[in-house]
Structures are given as structure tokens and as C-alpha cells.
Amino acid sequence: MSRVRVLDEETISHIAAGEVVERAASVVKELVENAVDADARSIRIGISADKTGITRISVTDDGVGMDFDDALLAFRQHATSKISRPEDLDGITTLGFRGEALASIAAISKVTFTTKERDSPNPEATRVVIHGGELISHAAVGAPEGTSVIIEALFYNTPARRKFQKSVPTELSHVYDMVERIALSNRDAAFVLLYNGKERFQTFGTGSFPDAIAAVFGSSFSKELTRVSGSFGPVKIDGWITRPGSEMKTTQTRFYLAVNGRQVTSRQLQWAIREGYGTLLPKGMFPAAFLDITLDPREVDVNVHPTKREIRLSREREVMRSVQDAVYQALHEERVFSPADPAPARERVMTLSAEIVGEPVQAYAVRREARQAPLKQTEKQLRRTEGADLPETDQFVPEVLGQIWDTYILAKNEVGDLIVVDQHAAHERIMYDQLLARASSAESGQELIVPQPVTLTKKEAAALPDLLDVLAAAGYLLEPFGKEVWMVRSVPVVSSTLGDPEVIHAILAAALEGVGSTDEVLDRVLKTAACRAVVKGNTPLTLGQMQRLLRQLMATKSPYTCPHGRPTTIVLSKSRLAGMFLRT
Ligand code: ADP
Ligand code: MG
């Protein structure tokens, strides 16, 4: 006897509904998102409840509405106006797209759906009534433009799901949370939420972020926030975060992230924001954050989770770093410049380092152009040692104050002492440790896509065959190609540009300089390779870059000396300065 059978339509629709509709708040989410997608300016949400639970949910909008036929079609599974071809999935800009919500909701409740198409010659509206997936009526009625959906008897035919509903206050708090999130990320629409006929909250659709935050959480709360905005790499960021020194919470409440207008949860993005605060965030405390993140929609996959709250980013690492930099910059500008300062974010940060150097700001502005190129180069160099994520460290990471002579980082350490860090020596320590960790392992080298020819001097060519093993341990594979020409086939993993002939000459010079055991020669090779691949002196760094460098440094085993044994860091304690100023 066959035991496998294809499920009937009703069972299928209940399964689909189970994925989309978990609780009353899911219904509210789907209906309100439909209103937003329908270009509504005004969205009114009504919730009624008694002792038995939530009894009625209504959402009314003034959006584009639908005609007679579409109003019914919209309740078919996989019926949507938002996409039509597989390619459309790669660039979704609406909140809905699967065409599942209305069908799912209608399968497990009693729905009254009234809609009138905007700007249509037909003066009539349409009403569709469906109970548990069964069409009760489909008729023309009189109603204003827009759409009104009433949901009653939610889960009446799915007792298991009904049993999982929590108390009315709990379910309500989920509804409020959902509506707040959608209202905060759709600020052009005005939202009103009523509970048992009483208004619970309202936004005004002014388009302004602070207005929306103030409407939801009160204006005194919104005053504790500071602006984050700008373009950082592939990402545009706009929003507000807790100003340092304001009250913070011990849990992550008031944390709102929207990616391309869609509310999402992302532990990684939360992490990036907290990292951006660095030492400004007291231990165990959480800032509030309201951030709109705009990315090329093709970089975002929203089709990974039934409720679409989780997303996948194709350039996650870059996005994380951009968010972190944005937060970092916002917080550090705040402390030095008045909020009225009109200069765009990036310029301001760089002006800050110029001021510490003591240059007049104007003269600096002229030089700004010239500074862009080294910043990019520095970014590449820093990323070489950074890996996928900024390294974890238990050590306190000093807080960057600025840069001086484009060569030293000024920072404040754990006990508040002023420290001066040699940026080159610091990065050398980081790079050397990583090269050493990989040396002699199978992972020391990475093959160059295009082998790099190097023309050697007679002396180099003569010595090279004896050095091949040491070089291979460091990650360099060289092969003879002609009499004095050799091909560089692989270079150490952490650095992709070390195939540069000039670097090869320097490496050979280091290897040939004096005698020594194999280990000593390897050490000299690694030090030279490290030195060539890292951030140099006389190079301007942004505050974010300096902070990342210090974090990388603190994650090394001996952060205070460079591989050559020179110090990376000098501490100017308060008492030492007092002594220098002859204060007693
Ligand atoms: P999706 O939003 O994924 O397209 P839904 O089942 O939520 O799927 O809605 C189906 C279709 O019904 C939508 O694509 C849209 O065309 C239409 N629709 C739903 N709600 C509204 C509304 N409030 N105003 C106008 N059209 C709506
Ligand atoms: Mg929808």
C-alpha cells in the first residue's frame, strides 16, 4: 500500500500560513507592509482584544487600492503585483514580493477586504469576504480610495497555533514593536495605532527621522541622540545613535536597523555598531541606534527567511566595516565640533588630524585632494593584516585622539595616560607576527595569478639557489626562467603586492646580509617583507584607521615592541608630564 500522498490545498495553505503568520503581530506586519508598498500616506491600525485574546485587527490605508478582479486574485497563493520574473528577485525594492501573505492570513481567519482603486473611472469599491480560505462574497460596495482589511477570529481553525498565543499584553507588545519599526523606517507615511478605540501612538509622516523617533519615544529621548550620516564604501548610512555620556541600557532595546527600507535583525550589524563606539561604550551597556542603511539592492538577498527579517549581504565584511567607521566618525566628530559645523563627515575627520598637527585649517583644505590617494593605499595595507573581522582582544584598546606629523598616533590608554604610537612600527609588529605564524606551514604562500619576472644581479643570481628553501618557508616560490631572470610564483599570504621586483631585491639583500642559521635568515626575510607591506610614516590616517591599527596591535602577543626590538609605544603619564612642566 502506498503511504506517500500529495497534500490537499487546504493543508498546504495551513502549512504556508504557519510560516508567515506566527502571531497577531505577523498579521499586522504583513498588512501594514502591503499598505506601505501601496504608496499609502496615511495608515491606521486598530487592535481590539478581550480576556480571550486579540479579537480583531484592522489596517486601513489611502494607497493605490485594487480593481474588482485583482481584489480577489490577491488572495490566491503566489499572486503578487510586485515581481513577475526570476530576475526580479535580484533587485527587490518592495517589502512584499512572494504573494503569500493575504492567502495565508485568509486561510486561518475571517477576512473582510475592502478596496477602491486610486484615480479609477469606476466609482465603486470592491469587498471580498473570506472565512478560513473559503470565499463568502465578492461584491461591489461604496468606500473611499485605498484599502481596508479587517481580520477576525485569527487562528480559529488552527487550534495548535492558537494555543501558542501568549497573554494579551505580550501579544500587544509585539504588535507595538512591529508597528514602531515599520513607522520608523517609513517616515513619509503617517501611522496611527488604536487599541480598543484608544490612540496608543502616532507618527506624522514628515519624513524626518528625529520627528519619527520623537513621536515614538518622546522628544527628551530623541535629544540624547547624535547623527550618523554619509557614504562609506558601498554603503549609505543615515540615522541616529546614543550620544556618549547619555543614559545607556544594559539590554539591546531601541535598536532599529533598516536595510533598503526593510526592518532587519542582524547580530553582525549590532556588533559593528558597538565596535564603532569602542571605548566610549561602558562595559555591558548598549546604545540605542536607529539606522537606515542603503545598499545596491542586488547586494542584498532578502529571500532567506519566511518573515524576511533576516537578510544576506554579498559584501558583508565591507558593510560591517563601513557601519563601524560611520559610527566611530560620528562619535568622534561630536566631541570636537559643534553640531552646526556644515562640513561633510570625511573632511571633518581629516581636519581634526590637521588641527592637532597645528596646521591652519584652510591650508589643510587645499592639501586635501593630495591626501586621498595615501588614504586608499593605507586602507589596503591595513586590511592585509585585518582578516575577515577585526581581531578579538581582551586587552584594552587605547582610544585614538589624533595623529601628529602624519607618523605618530596619539591615544589615551586604559589608565588615561597619553600614549604616542609609531604607526609604522606598530603595523610592522602586527604583520611580522602574522607572517611568522604562517612561515614554514603549507599556508605560507599564495600563488600569483600572473607570475612576476625579476631580473637579478649576478650576485643575487649566484646566491639564490641556496636561499630557495628559506624563501619557500617565508612563502616565496621562485623559479629560474633564464640566466638572470627568475619568476616569482607565490608570495606570503598576507600580502598580495610583495611580488614587486623591488621588494624581491630587498628580501634577497636581507637574506644575504651577513651569515646566520636558517632561522635567522628566515627572520630577516620576514622582517623585511613585513616592513615593505605595512603602513609607513609620513602617511595620513583617518581616526577609524588609527583605531583599527591599535586594535590589531593590542591583539598581538608583544604589542609594545616592533620586530626589530624598537618600541612601538611611548607612554606620557600624567606624572611624567607634570614633572616636565615642573609641577609638584
Ligand atoms: P505580496 O505583498 O508579497 O505581493 P500579498 O499577499 O501581501 O503579497 O498581497 C498580494 C497583492 O495584493 C500585492 O502584490 C498587491 O498587489 C495587492 N495588495 C495587497 N494589499 C494591498 C493594499 N493595502 N493596497 C493595494 N494593493 C494591495
Ligand atoms: Mg505583502
Tell me the HSE value of 35 on the side-chain side, using a 13 A CA sphere: 33
Look at residues 420, 464, 345 and name the one whose alpha carbon lies nearest to residue 572. Answer: 420
- Smallest CA separation from ligand 1 atom 16, residue: 81
C-alpha cell at 469: 628553501
Please tell me the predicted confidence (pLDDT) of residue 427: 94
Compute, in angstroms, the gap from residue 301 CA to the centroid of ligand 2: 17
Q: Distance (Å, rounded) from C-alpha 78 to C-alpha 70?
A: 13
Compute, in angstroms, the gap from residue 64 CA to the centroid of ligand 2: 14
pLDDT digit string, tens, across residues 53-106: 999 999 999 999 999 999 999 998 878 888 888 877 777 778 777 788 999 999
- Name the residues around ion ligand 2, CB cutoff 5 A: 34, 96, 101
Q: Distance (Å, rounded) from C-alpha 147 to C-alpha 124?
A: 13
Nearest ligand, measured from the Cα of 40: 1
| Nearest atom, ligand 1, residue 30 CA | 7
Compute, in angstroms, the gap from residue 74 CA to the centroid of ligand 1: 6
Compute, in angstroms, the gap from residue 61 CA to the centroid of ligand 1: 12
This model's pTM is above 0.75: no
Please give the full DSSP string across 106-122, using - where no structure is assigned.
Answer: HHTSEEEEEEE-TT-S-
Q: Which residues of the chain have pLDDT under 50?
A: 335-371
Compute, in angstroms, the gap from residue 97 CA to the centroid of ligand 1: 8
pLDDT digit string, tens, across residues 518-570: 888 898 899 988 988 899 998 888 888 899 999 999 998 888 888 887 888 98
Query: Boundaries of CATH 3.30.1370.100 in the chain?
Result: 399-569
Task: Look at strands 289-294 and 255-259 and give their pairing.
Answer: parallel
Contact 32, 182 (CB under 8 A): yes
Q: What architecture does CATH give domain 218-334?
A: 2-Layer Sandwich (3.30)
What is the spatial order of strands in the sheet that 235-242 belongs to? 225-232, 235-242, 289-294, 255-259, 262-264
Please tell me the predicted confidence (pLDDT) of residue 129: 97
- Ligand 1 neighbours, Cβ below 6 Å, are 30, 34-35, 37-38, 61, 63-66, 74, 79-82, 96-103, 147
192: part of which helix (H) or strand (E)?
A: strand 190-195
C-alpha cell at 462: 649566484
C-alpha cell at 380: 589596503
Compute, in angstroms, the gap from residue 138 CA to the centroid of ligand 2: 20
Nearest ligand, measured from the Cα of 302: 1
Nearest ligand, measured from the Cα of 64: 1
Q: Ligand 1: which of 37, 82, 97 to mutate, most ligand atoms within 8 Å of CB?
A: 37
Query: Boundaries of CATH 3.30.565.10 in the chain?
Result: 9-203
Compute, in angstroms, the gap from residue 169 CA to the centroid of ligand 1: 29
| Nearest atom, ligand 1, residue 146 CA | 24
Compute, in angstroms, the gap from residue 424 CA to the centroid of ligand 1: 58
Q: Count CB-CB contacts under 10 A for residue 106.
A: 27
Q: Distance (Å, rounded) from C-alpha 475 to C-alpha 550?
A: 26
- Smallest CA separation from ligand 1 atom 21, residue: 34
Q: How far is CA 479 from CA 116, 442, 447, in A?
A: 76, 18, 13
Amino acid at 433: D
| Nearest atom, ligand 1, residue 102 CA | 6
CATH number of 9-203: 3.30.565.10
Q: Distance (Å, rounded) from C-alpha 275 to C-alpha 271?
A: 6
Please give the full DSSP string across 323-335, using - where no structure is assigned.
Answer: HHHHHHHHHHHHH
Domain 399-569 has CATH 3.30.1370.100: yes
Query: Boundaries of CATH 3.30.230.10 in the chain?
Result: 218-334
Nearest ligand, measured from the Cα of 82: 1
- Smallest CA separation from ligand 1 atom 14, residue: 80
Compute, in angstroms, the gap from residue 31 CA to the centroid of ligand 2: 7
Please tell me the predicted confidence (pLDDT) of residue 18: 67
Burial class from Cβ neighbours inside 10 Å (0-12, 13-18, 19+) for residue 578 reads: exposed
With residues binned 3-state (H G I as helix, E B as strand, rest as coil), the percentages for the chain, rounded to 5, are: 40, 25, 35
DSSP, collapsed to helix, strand or coil, labels residue 38 as: coil
Q: Ligand 1: which of 61, 102, 112 to mutate, most ligand atoms within 8 Å of CB?
A: 102
| Nearest atom, ligand 1, residue 103 CA | 6
Compute, in angstroms, the gap from residue 99 CA to the centroid of ligand 1: 7
| Nearest atom, ligand 1, residue 99 CA | 8
Q: Distance (Å, rounded) from C-alpha 534 to C-alpha 381?
A: 6
